[in-house]
Amino acid sequence: MSDLIEVVLVDDQQLVRSGFRMILEAEPDITITGEAENGEAGLDLIRRVNPHVVLLDIEMPRMDGIEVTAALGALPEPPRVVVLTTFERDDYVFRALRNGASGFLLKSSPPEQLVEAVRVVAAGESLLAPSVTRRMIEAFASGEGTPPTPDPALDRLTDREREVLALMAQGLSNTEIAERLVVGEATVKTHVSNTLTKLGVRDRVQAVVWAFTNGAT
């Protein structure tokens, strides 16, 4: 990746796009390489300019954000996607994450959180708010989520990797997992990396979705 994080904005509200552009382009390491006002135009733009990160509105005409996220997942080198919405709706969260989004952000988030979100996902990490993780746990515990379907990949994990996966699903960071297990953070990073590889998932968000879907929480 180049020194600059290239970002595409896809939102049907001009005011939102202008505000986000102003916030992000004030940062020396971020540049906006394009904007689109609907999902269809956004998908075409993303295919042409191949950005590192896409800020993608959920509710849009001519393909919503969830449809666009799914389509981007089929690209040879899909960009990292942060889906945006006005409301923190669980059904949006579940569907967007299952379709490959790397994070979820409210449009009402403060500017510094928007900037941090772009940097975090561009670095290959994931953005899953603790409040979202807690509600995912509650939904699956109460039977509101998709019933767990065991996957043979779970058997490939060591006991420690299963433990780390369960703690990731609780929303704990590597530092918090290290403190909980009384091990070094580098050790946790190794366990996380091995877990992602064995499960065949791209990042922590996808690992958390996998854990809930397969009853590994």
CATH 3.40.50.2300 domain locations along the chain: 5-127
CATH 1.10.10.10 domain locations along the chain: 144-213
The mean pLDDT of 57-79, rounded to a whole number, is 88
CATH number of 5-127: 3.40.50.2300
The mean pLDDT of 111-126, rounded to a whole number, is 86
Out of 24-33, 97-106, 153-162, the most confident range is 24-33
Q: Give the pTM.
A: 0.71
Its CATH architecture, for the domain 144-213, is: Orthogonal Bundle (1.10)
HSE (side-chain half, CA atoms, 13 Å) at 92: 19
Q: What are phi and psi of 30, to 5 degrees?
A: -130, 135
Among 197, 214, 217, which Cα is nearest to 152's?
Answer: 214
pLDDT tens digits along 184-201: 999 999 999 999 999 988
Q: Comparing 87 with 109, which gets the higher pLDDT? A: 109
Cα-based distances in Å from 88 to 83, 94, 101, 137, 166: 11, 11, 15, 15, 23
With 90 as the cut, is the pLDDT of residue 62 above it? no
